[in-house]
Amino acid sequence: MLFSASATPLVPSLCLLAAEKPVNRRPMMMRLSGGGAIGSSSSSSNFDLKTYWGTLMTEINQKLDEAIPVKYPAGIYESMRYSVLAQGAKRAPPVMCVAACELFGGDRLAAFPTACALEMVHAASLIHDDLPCMDDDPVRRGKPSNHTVYGSDIAILAGDALFPLAFQHIVSHTPPDLVP
């Protein structure tokens, strides 16, 4: 059994703890690296989501490119890069990761390793989903899917390799001065 009987009473007690103290509900503001803020009526007209998203996508794409260099075995790393760095990706999970970090006052540099890891895991799930034994999709985002280009064997290995690489990337690239 995944949950023990002793763990179930914790959920109501956490709710009670939160309800015991009165909460001061103020509009939340998000400070952006560009100096603007999200959440205040005076500055919300200055915030441009499209620009914010595009800027983050550019930074995330650069960080992803650095995170997956081609090394031995080159075929697997090239396959990993093919899917992770695919053009046309919206980068929603990593952008939301960085935005959430900034929303709560964190430095975006602290969030980039986790944001990249999220994209690696997302790409791995897409590689596996497109395989002939799953959905058998020959195309992803208008380009040949990973297994179509590299073969099912390499696609499986590339997808499988992205999971530990994602966790290693978080551990080895998260700045300890920003996230103790």
* pLDDT, tens digit only, all 180 positions of the chain: 344 444 444 333 333 333 444 444 444 444 555 554 454 444 557 889 999 999 999 999 999 999 999 999 999 999 999 999 998 889 999 999 999 999 999 999 999 999 999 999 999 999 999 999 999 999 998 899 999 999 999 999 999 999 999 999 999 999 999 998
Angstrom distance (rounded) from CA 125 to CA 140:
12
Angstrom distance (rounded) from CA 97 to CA 154:
29
pLDDT at 94: 97
pLDDT at 41: 46
Return the residue matching tokens 């497109």.
130
pLDDT at 180: 84
Angstrom distance (rounded) from CA 98 to CA 116:
10
pLDDT at 88: 86
Q: Residues 6 or more apart from 74 whose CB is under 8 A from it?
A: none
Residue 82 burial (CB < 10 Å; 0-12/13-18/19+)? buried
